[in-house]
Each structure stands twice: as C-alpha cells, then as structure tokens.
Amino acid sequence: MEIGEFFAVRPKEGLEELESHELKYGNGAIQAIMNFMLKNQLVDVFLSFTERKDHFSLKPVIVEEPKEIFDISLSQFIAYNLPNIDSVSKYVASKLNGAKDNDKKIGVIARPCDIRAFIELAKRDQISLDNLFVIGLECIGRIDPRELKKVLKKAEIDPESVVNEIINNGVLTLELNTGTTQAFKLGEEIDVRSYCNQCPKKVPKENVADLTFWIDHPLEGNEEIFEVRSTQGKEVLEKAATEVIEVEKLSDENIQQLKNYIASLEQTALELQESEFAKLDEMSDEERFDYIISNFEQCTSCMMCIRACPICYCKDCNVVRRRKELDPIMINLTRLSHVGDTCIACGKCSEVCPKSIPLCLISKKLVEDLKELWPGHEPGHTIEEIPPRSWKGMKAASGAE
C-alpha cells in the first residue's frame, strides 16, 4: 500500500462480533477497522456517537471497549452530524485535553470542516495533532432533522419508525422498522443545510487525515472506499488487511470516477457560494452595512454561536462575561473581529442562531475579502500558515526581524 492509493474494503467473512451485531451502516468495514484498532491498541479510545434523546440527535461518547464500536450511530452522524454546540473538534479540544496527553492516542471520525477546525486549533496550541488518528469523512453535507421531520410528517411516516439512513448519489434513503425503505431526492424533497450546499470542500484535502472514508460514491457494489493519507493510516490499513478486512486496490479509472463525482459536487457548491457572495458584492457599501447591522440588531445575546463555534476556544470569554452590558451589535462585531479571519465555514453558528442571522455567510465573506490583504490566507488549510493577526504573523508582515 502507498499513500494516496484508494481501496475498496469489505470485512472478512466469519468475523464473529460483526455477524452478531445488527449493523446499521455500510458493509461493516469501518466498524471492523475501528474495532481492530482498539483491540490492538493502535488507538486507546475512539470518539464515537450515541443517541441523545431520539434517533435524530446524537451526543459524543468515548469508546474504549472494542465491541462497543459496533453500536456506533454512524448513519445518524453522517446524515445529521452532532447537533447544536457539539462538534468533534470542540469535544477533542475541551473534553479530551486537546489530545495533548502523549500516552493516549485518540481515534476520531471527522468531516472536512472538523479537520479544518483541528488545524486552526492546533495553530493556536489548543490541540495536538500528533496524538490523533483521523478518519476523514467524505461529506456531501448534513440534513437538518427538523426539516426531515416536516418531510416525514407530509409523507405520513412516523419519525420513530426510522432506523437507518443512507445518503448516496443525491438520494437520502430511510430504512424503516417495518422493513421497508423510503427515498427522498436531495435538492427536491429534502436538502442538506444551505451552508453545506455551498461548501466546496467535500473531502479532506489537508494533510491531517490518516485515512479518508467514502461511502457515498458512484462505484458499483457496496464496498466502502478508503484512501491512505499518511504513514500511520497505511500501517493501520495494512495490519487490518491481515486479519479483519479484504482490500482491493481501485483502478485508475475508478479513482477518476470518484474524483469526478466529488469535483462536480464541489463545483456546484462553489458556484452557489459565489452567487451568495455576489449578492453582498452587488450592494453599495451603505446597503451592505445596513444588511449586516440590521441582522446583528436581531441578536438576543444568547451566546449559542460562541458556544457552538469550534474555533472559539477562550475559557473566559469576554463577550460571554459582558453579554448583558454589551449592545447586540457590539457582541457580533467583537465576535467577528475575534473569529472572522479564522472561520472554517462549518456553519455551526448559523445552525444554532435562534434569529437565523446569516453568521456563517458573513464570516466566510470576511475571510474571502481578507485574501486581498493576506494573499493565500486560507483558514484550516495548513498547520504551517502563521495566523496573520498573531504576533508572529504581524511581525512577519512588517518585515521586522
């Protein structure tokens, strides 16, 4: 195996633990790999997901017992993600000591935006990438369970009957406890969240994932596709292939099919994002100012955006502490000045805002416009980029020794 190679992966036949569990997602390859990693201490724990109050709402949990991996709520995580203030990166930073304990290797499944958040947090010494094993997820976006429940109501389907969800080739297929399935075309009957539709980074491109995992792909069969992204990813896949999985290297033609599939999704997303930016660009300076301020005026100072943002890491946040005395406009301008240039466009702030303020769009546009000032600036792209507003960054920009 070499870094950069893609493999179709399936679990070996006769894996007792796998067969005794009712698998909720995919063909079982990812669960077999994660189970193998825990059993063989290739990681000490996995950050996993379990249902919070119903099938549509998850919370993060730490799994140490290999057999518990088979109960991972993967289909919900892929379809809906962690809700509200939870995110994989924030959990690692705040609840797992930023993965800074050198005697504890932490395995995570992370979307491309989680990985970008890891990078921004690592730049600020909030997490250590060295102690993570990252399985990067190909991600076409996440569905808002509230929207899905409206669609289910219209279709007279009891939400409690949903046991599993698969997103593939632009279709969300729900498996029901009656043994039947119900398919909804994305973009027509239900859609992913708007900022996901505009997210032009559907696979992790940064040099942080050890493996990437593709389940939504146009290739024949139900194989799960893995790409080897690092030396430790290669070692894990090679070892797992000796015991629990069967791997088949993808042909160049299949790899091209995968790349074309993602490139087309990313191109559509880029065009949508550009059209949103264009709406702001077409406004006069006064109109844009009014648009932003009138949105900020709606703010109720609930602080959910700050709590949800994966790159807001201050333990003693000045804005939170002074929220009752600060004007809502000042709250938002302060927040924007703190995270606006590092926003990795995950959309969490927009998701949680009770006033539907387009926070993600405003931050993203700020990042875009700042590229004129800081050419090449790309939050979450590489650990090597010095944050332009840091002391080191400002010193470099001024040419000082």
Residues within the interface to ligand SF4 (CB under 6 A)? 111-113, 139, 141-142, 195-196, 199, 201, 299-305, 308-311, 332, 339, 343-349, 352-355, 357, 359-360, 363
Distance between first and last Cα of the chain: 45
CB of 324 to ligand SF4, least distance (A): 12
The answer for 269, left when phi > 0, alpha when psi is -120 to 50, beta otherwise, is: alpha
CB of 70 to ligand SF4, least distance (A): 25
Give the number of other Cβ atoms within 10 Å of residue 297's Cβ: 13
**Closer residue to ligand SF4 in complex, CB, 5/266:** 266
SS3 content of the chain, % helix, strand, coil (to 5): 45, 15, 40
Cβ atoms of residues 23 and 6 within 8 Å: no
**Closer residue to ligand SF4 in complex, CB, 138/210:** 138
- Helices 231-243 & 29-39 angle (0-180, nearest 10): 100
> What CA–CA distance (Å, rounded) separates 263 from 201?
9
> What CA–CA distance (Å, rounded) separates 119 from 392?
17
**Closer residue to ligand SF4 in complex, CB, 60/112:** 112
Cβ atoms of residues 135 and 109 within 8 Å: yes
CB of 355 to ligand SF4, least distance (A): 5
Cβ atoms of residues 239 and 216 within 8 Å: no
CB of 36 to ligand SF4, least distance (A): 27
CB of 285 to ligand SF4, least distance (A): 23
Q: Is 328 exposed, middle or buried (0-12, 13-18, 19+ CB in 10 A)?
A: middle
CB of 292 to ligand SF4, least distance (A): 12
Longest pairwise C-alpha distance within the chain: 70
**Closer residue to ligand SF4 in complex, CB, 178/289:** 289
**Closer residue to ligand SF4 in complex, CB, 181/298:** 298
CB of 318 to ligand SF4, least distance (A): 14
> What CA–CA distance (Å, rounded) separates 185 from 178?
21
**Closer residue to ligand SF4 in complex, CB, 117/228:** 117
**Closer residue to ligand SF4 in complex, CB, 11/340:** 340
